[in-house]
């Protein structure tokens, strides 16, 4: 994937995090709106699935950008990218499992 | 060979490493915001790793308010960065009239974007602190 596409997705995921993260914060901290959001378990799980995916992409891409700036070498850049991708996908799989257990769906 | 020498030059310039992030003196305020954006980003990554490892962990009361300062700064400044990236709310490009002209972020409409981001940061941090310190203690 081209670096410009990666960074465009970085901004798209930032907007997604702002929306889904706000729902996550309200669900867990607002006594009035919180139970209302959590009453629809499937929708809240969907929100959390998008939030987790966007957050992991954004966070791990941020770490990748810092790392390849520290080590500006084409070979290192390639391997850092693949390592971050694998760690991110594994974390997402485990995180989704944890979410489903927490919401009583698995 | 041309590209190779350019690459070496780039590598040499980047030898400052992490200390280069804080080389902010004599630059515009955006340079400070960049350093703060990176530091808050790293802090948020450390927080979410702990938040995942021990599911739902958060630091508690006053530390929660401080976490709010870190997160809301990253959000507010991130909105400024996205607007600047997409060319929204920063006006038209300035005509360069003289070689010594100051940066577009100081002379152009874009300078209001920094004010907007900082005001948004203070408002969001205040709302987060209210939830962390008042609403949380009411919920028990």
Inter-residue contact A25 to A47 (CB < 8 Å): no
Please answer yes or no on whether A55 and B136 come within 8 Å at the CB atom.
Answer: no
CB-based contacts of B104, cutoff 8 Å, min separation 6: B93, B94, B110
B13's tokens: 């310039």
* Minimum-distance CB partner of B10 among A59, A72, A91: A72
The CA distance from B97 to the nearest CA of chain A, in Å, is: 31
Question: ∠ at Cα B56 (B128, A103), nearest 5°?
Answer: 110
- Is this complex's ipTM strictly greater than 0.85? yes
A66-70 mean pLDDT = 89
A101 interface with B at CB cutoff 8 Å: no
- CA atoms of B103 and A85, how far apart (whole Å): 37
Q: Which residues of B touch A16 (CB under 8 A)?
A: none
Q: Which of A55, A57, A96 best tests the B interface by mutation, with the highest count of B CBs <10 A?
A: A55
Domains of chain A, CATH where assigned: 3-102 (1.20.1300)
Number of Cβ atoms within 10 Å of the Cβ of B5: 9
Residue B5 has pLDDT above 70, yes or no: no
pLDDT in tens, A9-54: 999 999 999 999 999 999 999 999 999 998 988 999 999 999 999 9
Residue B100 has pLDDT above 50, yes or no: yes
Tell me the pLDDT band of B1, cut-offs 50, 70 and 90: very low
B17's tokens: 């490493």
Please answer yes or no on whether A98 and B85 come within 8 Å at the CB atom.
Answer: no
Please answer yes or no on whether A91 and B52 come within 8 Å at the CB atom.
Answer: yes
Inter-residue contact A62 to B45 (CB < 8 Å): yes
A64's tokens: 């990748």
A59's tokens: 């966070």
pLDDT in tens, B34-56: 999 999 999 999 999 999 998 88
Tell me the pLDDT band of B10, cut-offs 50, 70 and 90: low
């Amino acid at each position: 994937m081209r670096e410009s596409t990666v960074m465009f997705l970085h901004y798209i995921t930032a907007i997604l995090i702002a929306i889904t993260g706000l729902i996550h914060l309200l669900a867990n901290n607002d006594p009035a709106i919180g139970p209302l959001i959590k009453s629809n378990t499937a929708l809240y799980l969907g929100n959390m699935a998008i939030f987790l995916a966007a957050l992991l992409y954004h966070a791990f891409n941020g770490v990748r950008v810092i790392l390849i700036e520290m080590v500006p070498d084409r070979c290192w850049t390639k391997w850092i990218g693949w390592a971050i991708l694998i760690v991110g996908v594994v974390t997402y799989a485990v995180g989704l499992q944890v979410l489903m257990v927490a919401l009583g769906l698995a | 060979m041309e590209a190779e020498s350019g690459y070496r030059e780039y590598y040499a310039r980047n030898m400052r490493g992490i200390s280069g992030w804080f080389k902010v003196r004599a630059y515009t305020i955006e340079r400070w915001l960049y350093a703060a954006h990176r530091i808050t980003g790293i802090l948020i990554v450390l927080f979410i790793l702990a938040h995942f490892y021990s599911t739902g962990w958060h630091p508690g009361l006053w530390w929660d308010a401080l976490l709010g300062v870190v997160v809301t700064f990253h959000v507010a400044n991130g909105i400024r960065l996205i607007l600047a990236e997409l060319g929204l709310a920063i006006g038209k490009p300035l005509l360069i009239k003289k070689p010594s002209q100051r940066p577009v972020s100081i002379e152009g409409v874009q300078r209001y974007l920094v004010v907007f981001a900082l005001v948004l940061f203070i408002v969001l941090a205040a709302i987060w602190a209210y939830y962390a310190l008042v609403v949380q203690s009411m919920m028990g």
